[in-house]
């Protein structure tokens, strides 16, 4: 079933089945529903679900697992039914049943959309150590019919040697590690375009701004495809060969996109918070789980012919502020800053000075090298084109910008000094 938004009646029917299953099998959700004075059998449509079923925050799962380790009261399976346990930072424990898809069918579709051919060598560089990402991708590439090089993280020189010897043509991992491989290849005296064979790349787990994409594609002569997801719910969306937004491909999730202020469903062209519910039987089901991720829904149909909606990842709720009626996203600002090689970390300071009519946004941009005289003016113009409001520019040394303002989360990138 192709993911859709707004939801179709068939989507809602699967959602209602998932709520009933979670209520029946998970002690947490029995209590969760009872506290909200709702029973799954009473719900008839999506509006009723949105109005009556509270969201699940990551903090709820953290508290439950700390109080009753390892899985809290979320577990919806017997211990001997479990096939594997993954771990997300925290740590958070993610048990999996043997017949759970674990994102594999979705990833198979994403791999196919990149034009990967069966028999190609796929070099997977996400962490295999405790974290789920490496294994998820490994299983998918293997099932697709690829020969998989389980690189993981680190040991870049060794990984390059093996990738070259095996003729790896598919890269899968973070853009930053791909950049590290380019640097390492040059340190070895290799030309990444001549001595390595990558032709396509599955980029995930980090932002892929246009300037970085162009740099990496030029370094290796490959085509990168951006993908996004979340550790607890798995893959969410990925690019096709049109590279015009990421198609929703999470067929095992019911996805909502809700206005950050009103909680109402957003339409194509709007920006909304992701809220996800697992569909089907799960060892640890999540109902209306809200990880704080924000997406913009693209309008219109994609030229590739895939009818699934397209989205752009915007950032996390904590890195988004409304200034003079316009949503300003740290990740959006990062995309502009990345166009200027003189700049590193940044911080957006938002103020409403006493006696002034309007709020003010100022970008403190960290310099990593000497700046040309017109840098501030060029940066201000690009920000106005992208963010749609005037942003003041202050150039400072990068050491003056807090480290937590940097990628991938940009947690400290938005400094709001307004009195709320």
DSSP state letter for 375: H
Work out the pLDDT band at 362, boundaries 50, 70, 90.
Answer: very high
**Domain residue spans in the chain?**
9-101+252-290, 104-247, 318-416
* Residue-wise pLDDT tens digits, 167-221: 999 999 988 899 999 999 999 999 999 999 999 999 998 778 787 899 999 999 9
What pLDDT does residue 132 have? 82
Q: What percent of the chain has pLDDT over 90?
A: 66
CATH number of 104-247: 3.40.50.12780
Work out the pLDDT band at 285, boundaries 50, 70, 90.
Answer: very high
Work out the pLDDT band at 416, boundaries 50, 70, 90.
Answer: confident
- CA distances (Å), origin 243, targets 27, 116, 235, 302: 43, 16, 18, 9
296 three-state secondary structure = strand
| Sequence-distant contacts of 27-35: CB under 8 A, at least 24 apart | 27/73, 27/74, 27/75, 28/64, 28/72, 28/73, 28/74, 29/74, 29/285, 29/287, 31/73, 32/56, 32/287
| In 89-243, beta strands by DSSP E | 92-97, 121-124, 147-150, 170-173, 200-203, 223-230, 234-239
* Residue-wise pLDDT tens digits, 332-358: 888 899 999 999 999 999 988 877 756
DSSP state letter for 283: S
Kindly report the backbone phi and psi dihedral angles of residue 7, in degrees, each rounded to the nearest multiple of 5, phi listed first. Answer: -70, 145
Work out the pLDDT band at 419, boundaries 50, 70, 90.
Answer: low
29 three-state secondary structure = helix
What pLDDT does residue 387 have? 79
Mean pLDDT of 11-19: 96
CATH number of 9-101+252-290: 3.40.50.12780
Work out the pLDDT band at 90, boundaries 50, 70, 90.
Answer: low
Q: What is the mean pLDDT of the chain?
A: 90
Q: Are 124 and 137 in contact (CB under 8 A)?
A: yes
Residue 47 has pLDDT above 90, yes or no: yes
* Residue-wise pLDDT tens digits, 248-274: 987 889 999 999 889 999 999 999 999
How many alpha carbons fall within 13 Å on the CB side of residue 286?
29
Work out the pLDDT band at 325, boundaries 50, 70, 90.
Answer: low
* Residue-wise pLDDT tens digits, 113-126: 999 999 999 999 99
CATH number of 318-416: 3.30.300.30
pTM score, whole prediction: 0.79
Pairing of strands 82-88, 92-97: antiparallel
Residue 390 has pLDDT above 90, yes or no: no
Please determine whether the domains at 104-247 and 318-416 fall in the same fold group of CATH.
Answer: no
In angstroms, the CA 92 to CA 73 distance is: 13
Say if residue 119 is exposed, middle or buried (CB neighbours under 10 Å; 0-12, 13-18, 19+).
exposed
């Amino acid at each position: 079933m192709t993911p859709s938004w707004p939801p179709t009646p068939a989507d809602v029917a699967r959602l209602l089945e998932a709520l009933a299953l979670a209520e029946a099998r998970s002690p947490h959700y029995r209590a969760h529903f009872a506290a909200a004075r709702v029973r799954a059998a009473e719900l008839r449509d999506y509006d009723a679900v949105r109005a009556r079923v509270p969201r699940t925050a990551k903090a709820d799962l953290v508290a439950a697992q700390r109080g009753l380790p390892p899985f809290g009261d979320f577990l919806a399976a017997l211990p001997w039914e479990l096939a594997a346990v993954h771990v997300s930072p925290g740590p958070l424990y993610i048990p999996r049943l043997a017949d759970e898809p674990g994102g594999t069918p979705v990833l198979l579709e994403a791999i196919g959309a990149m034009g990967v051919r069966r028999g190609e060598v796929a070099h997977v560089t996400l962490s295999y150590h405790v974290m789920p990402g490496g294994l998820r991708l490994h299983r998918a590439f293997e099932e697709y019919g690829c020969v998989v090089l389980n690189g993981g993280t680190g040991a870049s020189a060794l990984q390059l040697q093996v990738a070259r010897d095996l003729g790896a043509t598919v890269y899968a991992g973070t853009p930053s590690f791909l950049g590290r491989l380019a640097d390492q290849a040059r340190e070895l005296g290799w030309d990444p375009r001549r001595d390595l064979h990558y032709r396509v790349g599955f980029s995930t787990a980090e932002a892929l701004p246009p300037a970085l994409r162009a740099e990496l594609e030029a370094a290796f002569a490959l085509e990168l495809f951006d993908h996004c997801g979340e550790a607890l719910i798995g893959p969410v969306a990925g690019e096709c060969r049109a590279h015009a937004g990421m198609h929703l491909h999470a067929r095992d999730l019911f996805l909502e996109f809700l206005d950050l202020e009103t909680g109402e469903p957003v339409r194509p062209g709007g920006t909304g918070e992701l809220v996800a519910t697992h569909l089907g039987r799960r060892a640890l089901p999540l109902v209306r789980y809200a990880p704080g991720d924000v997406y913009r829904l693209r309008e219109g149909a994609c030229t590739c012919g895939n009818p699934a909606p397209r989205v752009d990842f915007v950032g996390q709720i904590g890195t988004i502020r409304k200034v003079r009626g316009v949503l300003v996203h740290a990740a959006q600002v990062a995309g502009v800053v990345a166009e200027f090689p003189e700049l590193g970390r940044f911080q957006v300071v938002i103020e409403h000075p006493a006696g002034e009519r309007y709020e003010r946004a100022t970008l403190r941009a960290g310099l990593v090298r000497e700046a040309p005289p017109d840098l501030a003016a060029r940066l201000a113009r690009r920000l106005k084109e992208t963010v749609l409001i005037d942003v003041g520019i202050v150039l400072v040394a990068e050491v003056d910008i807090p480290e937590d303002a940097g990628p991938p989360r940009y947690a400290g990138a938005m400094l709001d000094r307004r009195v709320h």
